[in-house]
Amino acid sequence: MGKSSALEYINQMFPTEASLSGVEPLMQKIQSEIRRVDASILAAVRQQSNSGTKAKEDLAAATHAVQELMHKIHEIKAKAEQSETMVQEICRDIKKLDYAKKHITTTITALHRLTMLVSAVEQLQVMASKRQYKEAAAQLEAVNQLCSHFEAYRDVPKITELREKFKNIKKVLKSHVFSDFSSLGTGKESEETNLLQQLSDACLVVDALEPSVREELVKNFCSKELTSYKQIFEGAELAKLDKTERRYAWIKRRLRTNEEIWKIFPPAWQVDYLLCIQFCKLTRTQLVDILNNLREKPDVGTLLLALQRTLEFEEELAQKFSGGTTHSRNKELGSDEEEADEGENRNKIVSDIRKKYEKKLAVPRDGTELEKEKHKDLSVPGAGFNFRGIISSCFEAHLAVYVELEEKTLMEHLDKLVQEETWETEEGSQTNILSSSMQVFLIIRRSLKRCSALTKNQTLFNLFEVFQRILKAYATRLYARLPKGGTGIVAAATGTDGQIRTSDRDERMICYIVNTAEYCHKTSGELADNVSKIIDPQFTDKVDMSEVQDEFSVVITKALMTLVHGLETKFDAEMVSMTRVPWASLESVGDQSEYVNGINSILSSSIPVLGSLLSPTYFQFFLDKLAASLGPRFYLNIYKCKHISETGAQQMLLDTQAVKKILLDIPTLGKQTALAASYSKFVSREMSKAEALLKVILSPVDSVANTYRALLPEGTPLEFQRILDLKGLKKADQQAILEDFNKHGTSIRHPSVPPSVSLPPAPVAPTAPPLTTTTTTTSTTMTLSSMTSTGTPSAALASREDVLTRAAALGRGAATTGFKRFLALTEAAKDRKDGPFRKLFSP
C-alpha cells in the first residue's frame, strides 16, 4: 500500500478519538497472524528440503534398472544368433533332398506331356491326310495346349522338331480346307451330298487355327462371290448410273439364294455381314468412277433415282445388321404406295421422286469417316460400322445439278406466287400478312426437308445459299410493288415529278408489305437457326441470314417512307389552298380555314386504317416522319404566302393551333395512345416554330427585330427580310429596320445566297428535315440544310444531342435487335450528308 492508502486505511479504522481504545487489541491480533504465517513458511521450507533428497534417490534407482535391462537384451541377442546357426546346420541336408524331389517331379511331368505331344502330333498328321476335319479340330486344340507347356524348351532339338512338324501339319490342313472351299458355289454341293457337312467340319478346323486363317478364308470367299459382280457391272452395258438399282437387286438375290448353303459357316463369322461391307465398298468405288467419267452433267431424275435406291438399300442393311434395333428416326418413315411397281419408278418425273425420298432420312458421311471405318472391328454386327452413307456419300460432289434444279423450281414457285398474289389479306385474318410470304417459307421448308434427307454437308449449305437468294428476290418483289413517283416528260411538265400518289387500297397494301417484311425478317432468322441445328458442324458458323434480314429491313423503311410521301402528296392541294387565301384582306378572325379541314379529312380517312394495320413500333416511326414532314412544310408554306395582315396572321395562328391539335390527336385516331407522350413533345416542338413565326409577324414594326431575335434565335437576315415583306413594309421602310437588325445580330452568319432571292428559305428543325418530294420544297430543304450547317458550334452540339434523344425515344427502350435497332440508327443518321443510310432519306 502506498503512504496515502495506509493513512486512509488507519483513518477508516479509527475515525474518532474514542475508537483509539481498540488499538491494543488490533496490535495483538496482527502479531498473532504474523506468528502463524512464519510457522507456515518454516514448515514449507522443511518439506521442500526433504522432497529434493527423495527425488535424487529415485533417479539413481531408475538409472540402475535401465543398465540391468540393457545387459539382459545383449544376452538374449547372443543366444538367438547361436540358435540360428544351429538350425541351419540341421536343415542343410533336408533342403538338398527337397530340390531333388522337385526336379524329378518336373521331369516326369515333362516326359509324360512329351509322350502325349508326340502321340497327338502323329494322330493329327493321320487325320489331316484323311481330311477328318471334325476330329482334327479337337486334336488341334489338344496339341495347342500341349505346345504351350513347352514354350520354355524351344531350344531343345526334339521340341523344335515337333513344333516344325506341327507347323507343317497346320499348313497341310489349311491347304486342304482352302481347296475344299474352292468347290463351293461350283455346283458340286448338289452332286456330293456330304460336301456341305465336310465344309462345316472344316470351319471347326479354321477356328482352331490362327485367326488370320479365318480372315483370309472369308476374304477369299467374299472376293470369289464378288468376282462375277465385277464382271457384270464393269461392262459397258451395266456400268451406268441408271443401272444402280440392279446392283442392289443382285446382292439381295445372292443373299437370298445362298442363305441355306451359307449356313455351313458359324454364325460368329458373319459372312453375309462382311460380304455386304465388301460389296458396299466395291459399289462405291465403281459409282465414283461412273460419276467422274460422265462427259455431261448427269440427268437430275436419274441421279436422284440412283441416290434414292442407294438410301433405301443402306437403310435395309442398317436394319438387317443392327441386331434388331433400328434408327431412332425410322419412326418417321412411312410406307410409300408408289414403290409397288418398280418399272414405273424408273420413269418417274423428278417431282414424284422428291415426294418419295422426302420421307427417307439418312446420315451420309464424308470420305474421312469412311477411312475411319477401316480401323474398326467389323467381325461383329453393330460393332461401329454404319451402313448409312457408305455408298450414298459419293453422290455429294455431284449434287450441284440437284441444287440448280431446286433453285429453278423455287424461283418458278416464287414468280407464280407473286403473280397470283392479290395484295390483300383474307377476310378474318389476324396477321395482316400476305399469303405469298407464308407460301414461300412453306416451299423453302419442304426443300430443306428433302435435302436434309439426302445430305447435311456442302449440298445443304449450297441449298441454304439458294434460300438466301430466293428470299432476297422476294424482298425485291415486295419493294417493286410499292407505289413509285411520277417520272418522265409528262410528270415534269405537270409538276408531279417524283410525287407518290396513293389510294386507300395502296395504303392498305403498303401496310401489308410492312407486316409481311417483318414476318420474313423474323422467320428468316428462325430458318437460319433450324439449318444450323441440322447441318454439319463445319458449316454452322457460315449459316447467316443477316444480309437477307437487312433486305427486308430496307423494304420496311422504304414502305413506311412511301406512306409518308403518299400523304404528303395528298397535302399538296391543301398547301396550295393555304397560299391562295387572301390573308391581307381578311376582315375578322373566324373558324378554322378550309385547308385545315382538308388536312383533317385526309388524316381522318387514312390514320385509323394505318393504326389498325401497323404495329406500334412502325406506327411510331410513321408518325414521327409525318410530323417531321408536315410541321416544317407548314412552316415553309407561310413564307410562300403574299402579304399577311394582322387579322390574317391571327387567323393563320388559329389555323396553326388547329393543325397542331389535329396532329396531336393522331395517336388517338389510330387507337395507339401509348405513343402519345414522346410524339406530343415532338409535334409541339415542330409546330412551335410556325407559331413563333406568326407571333413575329403580329408584333409591332418598332419591336419586330427584338421579337424575331427572341422567338427565332437561329434566324437569318434573309428570313427576317422575308418577314418584313409578309408584313407589307415597303423597301424604304425595311432598310432602316434591316440595318438596325444587322447591327445587333452580328453573331448570326449570313448564308452564301444571292441577295436577289425573292423567296428566302426558313430554318427547319434539326431532327426532322422535310421529306416532301416536290421540286420547290426539295430545293428549299437543301438551302435550309446548308444554312443550318453554317450555324454556331453550340447550335450544332444541341442538334447532335437532339438527334440522339430522338433516336433513343424512337426505340422505346427496346431498340436492341432487328429492325428496332435499325430504326434507331436510321433516325440518328438521317441528318448526315453521307453514310450508308443516307440514301434511305433521299427524296
CB 701 within 8 A of CB 737: yes
Q: Can you say how many angstroms the Cα of residue 571 is from the centroid of all Cα atoms in its chain? A: 48
**Cell numbers describing residue 431:** 396477321
Per-chain mean pLDDT for the chain: 75
Query: Among residues 606, 611, 511, which one has the least CA distance to residue 556?
Result: 511
CB 551 within 8 A of CB 582: no
State residue 698's pLDDT score: 87
State residue 815's pLDDT score: 34
State residue 440's pLDDT score: 93
pLDDT digits (tens, 9 = 90+) for 374-422: 444 444 444 456 777 778 778 777 788 888 888 899 999 999 998 988 8
Q: Which residue has the higher pLDDT, 455 or 839?
A: 455
State residue 519's pLDDT score: 93
Residue 787 above 50 pLDDT?
no
H or E element at residue 273: helix 271-292
CB 437 within 8 A of CB 381: no
Instruction: With H, G, I as helix, E, B as strand and everything else as coil, classify residue 299.
Output: coil
Q: How far apart are CA 459 and CA 465, in angstroms?
A: 10
pLDDT digits (tens, 9 = 90+) for 349-365: 334 444 443 433 333 34
State residue 428's pLDDT score: 59
Whose grid coordinates read 438551302? 783
Query: Among residues 266, 347, 274, which one has the least CA distance to residue 317?
Result: 274
Q: How far apart are CA 160 and CA 166, in angstroms?
A: 10
Q: Which amino acid is at 105?
A: T
Cα–Cα–Cα angle for 749, 751, 752, rounded to 5 degrees: 130
DSSP 207-231: HHS-HHHHHHHHHHHHHHHHHHHHH
Q: Which residue has the higher pLDDT, 443 or 123?
A: 443
Residues 242-275 as b/e (b if ≥16 CB within 10 A, e otherwise) read: ebbbebbebbeebbeebeeebebbeeebbbbbbb
Residue 625 above 60 pLDDT?
yes
Q: How far apart are CA 242 and CA 250, in angstroms?
A: 15
Residue 838 above 70 pLDDT?
no
Residue 612 above 80 pLDDT?
yes
Cα–Cα separations (whole angstroms), residue 521 to 198, 410, 469, 716: 74, 19, 14, 46
Q: How confident is the model at residue 373 (pLDDT cuts 50, 70, 90)?
A: very low
Give 709: exposed, middle or buried? Use CB within 10 Å, 0-12, 13-18, 19+: middle
In this structure, the chain runs to a length of 843
Mean pLDDT of 657-664: 89
pLDDT digits (tens, 9 = 90+) for 168-180: 888 888 888 888 7
pLDDT digits (tens, 9 = 90+) for 254-264: 888 887 777 88
Mean pLDDT of 801-815: 38
State residue 142's pLDDT score: 82
Q: How confident is the model at residue 226 (pLDDT cuts 50, 70, 90)?
A: confident
pLDDT digits (tens, 9 = 90+) for 186-205: 666 555 567 777 788 888 88
316: CB partners within 8 A, 6+ apart? none
Residue 241 above 80 pLDDT?
no
pLDDT digits (tens, 9 = 90+) for 473-515: 999 999 998 888 754 444 444 444 457 888 888 888 999 999 9
User: Residue 166: phi, psi to the nearest 5?
Assistant: -65, -40
User: Residue 535: phi, psi to the nearest 5?
Assistant: -80, 160
Instruction: Specify the DSSP class assigned to residue 750.
Output: P
State residue 187's pLDDT score: 61
Residue 470 above 90 pLDDT?
yes
State residue 8's pLDDT score: 83
Cα–Cα–Cα angle for 789, 791, 796, rounded to 5 degrees: 75
pLDDT digits (tens, 9 = 90+) for 523-536: 999 999 999 999 88
H or E element at residue 721: helix 717-726
Q: Which residue has the higher pLDDT, 519 or 776?
A: 519
Query: Among residues 374, 187, 183, 357, which one has the least CA distance to residue 278?
Result: 374
727: CB partners within 8 A, 6+ apart? 643, 644, 697, 701, 704
Q: How far apart are CA 102 and CA 109, in angstroms?
A: 11
User: Residue 123: phi, psi to the nearest 5?
Assistant: -65, -40
State residue 89's pLDDT score: 79
Residue 242 above 90 pLDDT?
no
CB 575 within 8 A of CB 543: no
Q: How far apart are CA 198 and CA 139, in angstroms?
A: 17
Instruction: Specify the DSSP class assigned to residue 382.
Output: T
Residue 471 above 90 pLDDT?
yes
Most confident of 214-223, 534-543, 671-680, 743-752: 534-543
Q: How far apart are CA 794 and CA 801, in angstroms?
A: 11
Cα–Cα separations (whole angstroms), residue 645 to 330, 588, 692: 87, 11, 16
Mean pLDDT of 766-789: 33
Residue 729 above 60 pLDDT?
yes
Q: Which residue has the higher pLDDT, 835 or 186?
A: 186
pLDDT digits (tens, 9 = 90+) for 414-444: 999 989 888 887 765 667 888 899 999 999 9
Dihedral over alpha carbons 365, 370, 376, 382 (to 10 degrees): 40
Q: How far apart are CA 641 and CA 648, in angstroms?
A: 11
Residue 42 above 60 pLDDT?
yes
pLDDT digits (tens, 9 = 90+) for 78-120: 889 888 888 887 887 787 788 888 889 888 888 888 888 788 8
CB 421 within 8 A of CB 315: no
pLDDT digits (tens, 9 = 90+) for 296-334: 777 777 887 888 788 888 888 888 887 543 343 333 333
Question: What percent of the chain clears pLDDT 90, i.e. is strictly above it?
Answer: 12
State residue 3's pLDDT score: 65
Whose grid coordinates read 397535302? 571
Q: What share of the chain is helix, strand, coil (3-state, %, to 5)?
A: 75, 0, 25
Q: Which residues pair with 316 in a beta bridge?
A: none
437: CB partners within 8 A, 6+ apart? 474, 516, 519, 520, 523
Residue 518 above 70 pLDDT?
yes
Residue 760 above 70 pLDDT?
no
Q: How far apart are CA 345 and CA 348, in angstroms?
A: 5
